[in-house]
Structure 1
Amino acid sequence: MKPIKSKAQIDYLKAKTKFEERSKILEARVAEEQKTAEVEQELMEKLVIETGFHNAFNDLSEAESELISWSHATIKHDKTYKDNKRPIDEMYEKLDVDPQMRARIIQLALRIR
Structure 2
Amino acid sequence: MLGDMEVRLDDAARVMGSARGVSTGRVSRQARQPEGVDSPTWAVPEGIGALPAELAERAQDVLVNQRKIVGELEKAKRVTLQHLAAVRSVPPARNPGTSVYLDVAG
TM over 0.5: no
Normalised to the residue count of structure 2, the TM-score between the two structures is 0.38
Greater helix share, 1 or 2? 1
Q: Which of the two has higher C-alpha Rg?
A: 2
